[in-house]
């Protein structure tokens, strides 16, 4: 096929045929051994064949038709219309010669090449479409997940706001239905209303905190804080609650641990984790262990509590907004499922990580790790 990739090569072979070189005299590099070619001398008057020299045997009638078409063609070098043959005419010393070369195999090779290229193109197109569809699906998954989380967030926030509003409305209706009563007589409904207002206030504050932290792309300059002192103060503030609930409350706080951070946010994170342990430790024989230590420039804060074991399938959702393992117990204790989300946001803001494990041996442990 390479010898017939352009007209120049074809003309070269036709010129060889017209020059009188016999086919058995052709050397390597001139003509392939499987070349089908022939040369004829023509009587210019009768247009009949005088002699022919060929390695290609054709029927006389077909050959004569080829000669007639070549003679009637306006070009000296062209391809026959009725046969896959290229010809060239030449007149030398009043002798008219026509050389013919069969290009059927070359045309077939071109056809095969076109088909192969078409198959390759279609295959590549299918692969491209498959890869594009796969990548598009992978790229859209985070968007879909984000959209779903946003929808869930709005639905959960609406639900959490609706509940206290319903209670407040019911309390108000009861108070209004008793116009002759005094404040003391309505104390129960007023206290309930105050509690629900406080719940709404806390919920809105938490939502605003999460929204602010999610939207911030840069962290404000942190100050160098005594993290040991901060954690110890928070731990001691819960000691009285632990005593009232008869919880075995233990802690070890390594002194003189410093790193840069937002003191208010870190206090909130520590309080959330201790409060969470208080809520979900064993109701009758609660045990809480709190530890803060620094080893090899890694600060680790852990809060461990006994009680109900959290299932593996629920652990991965524990830091999602509004997610609660024990919804009824959380509701009774005033939780809405935002605390752990806030704790995670704070840890992430301080370039830290927060993890949770839960098993029958070690119970439930929250671990926050910082690398100052």
Over the stretch 7-65, which tens digit does the pLDDT of each residue have? 666 777 777 767 765 544 444 344 444 567 788 888 766 666 766 666 677 778 888 88
Q: Do 187 and 249 belong together in one domain?
A: no
Q: Do 250 and 360 belong together in one domain?
A: yes
Q: Which two tokens stand for residue 352?
A: 């830290």
Question: Distance between CA 240 and CA 245 in Å, rounded?
Answer: 9
Question: Contact, 115 vs 106, CB < 8 A?
Answer: no
Q: Do 315 and 262 belong together in one domain?
A: yes
Q: Do 209 and 234 belong together in one domain?
A: no
Domain boundary among 165, 181, 215: 215
Question: Where do we find the tokens 């999460």?
Answer: 210
- For 311-359, the pLDDT digits (tens) are 888 888 888 877 766 654 444 555 557 788 888 988 988 889 999 999 9
Q: Do 160 and 60 belong together in one domain?
A: no
Q: Which two tokens stand for residue 247?
A: 């919880």
| pLDDT of res. 226 | 94
Q: Do 164 and 208 belong together in one domain?
A: yes
Largest Cα span, the chain: 139
Q: Do 183 and 305 belong together in one domain?
A: no
Burial class of 367 by CB neighbour count within 10 A (0 to 12, 13 to 18, 19+): middle
| pLDDT of res. 100 | 87
CB atoms within 10 A of CB 188: 10
pTM value is 0.55
74 found inside a domain: yes
The C-alpha angle 140, 143, 148, rounded to 5 degrees, equals: 125
Question: Distance between CA 372 and CA 369 in Å, rounded?
Answer: 10
- For 211-231, the pLDDT digits (tens) are 666 545 445 668 899 999 999
- For 246-283, the pLDDT digits (tens) are 999 999 999 999 988 888 889 888 988 998 899 889 88
109 found inside a domain: no
Number of independent structural domains in the chain: 3
The H helix count followed by the E strand count for the chain is 10, 12
Q: Please give the full DSSP string across 34-60, using - where no structure is assigned.
A: T--EEEEEE-TTT--EEEEEESS---H
Range of the domain at 62: 2-102
- For 147-197, the pLDDT digits (tens) are 776 676 676 667 667 767 888 888 888 888 888 888 888 888 888 888 888
Burial class of 318 by CB neighbour count within 10 A (0 to 12, 13 to 18, 19+): buried
Q: Do 76 and 186 belong together in one domain?
A: no
Q: Do 207 and 260 belong together in one domain?
A: no
Q: pLDDT at residue 142 above 60?
A: yes
């Amino acid at each position: 096929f390479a010898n017939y990739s352009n007209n120049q090569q074809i003309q070269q072979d036709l010129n060889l045929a017209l020059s009188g070189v016999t086919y058995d005299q052709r050397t390597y590099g001139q003509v392939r051994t499987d070349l089908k070619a022939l040369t004829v001398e023509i009587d210019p008057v009768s247009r009949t064949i005088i002699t022919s020299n060929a390695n290609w045997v054709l029927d006389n009638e077909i050959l004569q038709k080829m000669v007639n078409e070549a003679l009637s063609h306006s070009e000296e070098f062209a391809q026959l219309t009725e046969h896959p043959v290229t010809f060239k005419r030449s007149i030398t010393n009043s002798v008219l010669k026509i050389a013919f070369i069969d290009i059927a195999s070359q045309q077939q090779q071109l056809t095969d090449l076109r088909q192969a290229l078409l198959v390759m193109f279609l295959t590549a197109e299918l692969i491209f479409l498959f890869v594009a569809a796969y990548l598009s699906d992978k790229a859209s998954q985070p968007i879909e997940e984000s959209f779903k989380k946003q929808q869930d967030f709005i639905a959960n926030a609406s639900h959490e706001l609706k509940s206290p509003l319903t209670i407040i409305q019911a309390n108000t209706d009861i108070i209004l239905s008793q116009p002759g009563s005094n404040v003391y007589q309505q104390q129960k409904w007023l206290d309930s209303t105050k509690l629900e207002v406080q719940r709404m206030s806390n919920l809105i504050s938490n939502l605003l905190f999460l929204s602010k932290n999610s939207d911030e792309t840069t962290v404000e300059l942190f100050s160098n804080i005594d993290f040991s002192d901060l954690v110890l103060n928070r731990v001691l503030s819960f000691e009285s609650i632990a005593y009232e609930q008869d919880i075995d409350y233990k802690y070890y706080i390594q002194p003189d641990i410093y790193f840069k951070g937002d003191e208010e946010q870190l206090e909130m994170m520590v309080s959330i984790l201790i409060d969470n342990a208080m809520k979900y430790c064993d109701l009758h024989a609660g045990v809480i262990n709190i530890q803060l230590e620094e080893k090899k420039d890694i600060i680790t804060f852990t809060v461990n509590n006994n009680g109900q074991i959290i299932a593996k399938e629920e652990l991965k959702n524990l830091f999602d907004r509004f997610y609660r393992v024990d919804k009824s117990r959380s509701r009774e204790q005033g939780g809405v499922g935002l605390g752990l989300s806030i704790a995670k946001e704070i840890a992430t803001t301080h370039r830290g990580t927060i993890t949770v494990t839960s098993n029958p041996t070690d119970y439930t442990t929250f671990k926050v790790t910082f690398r100052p």
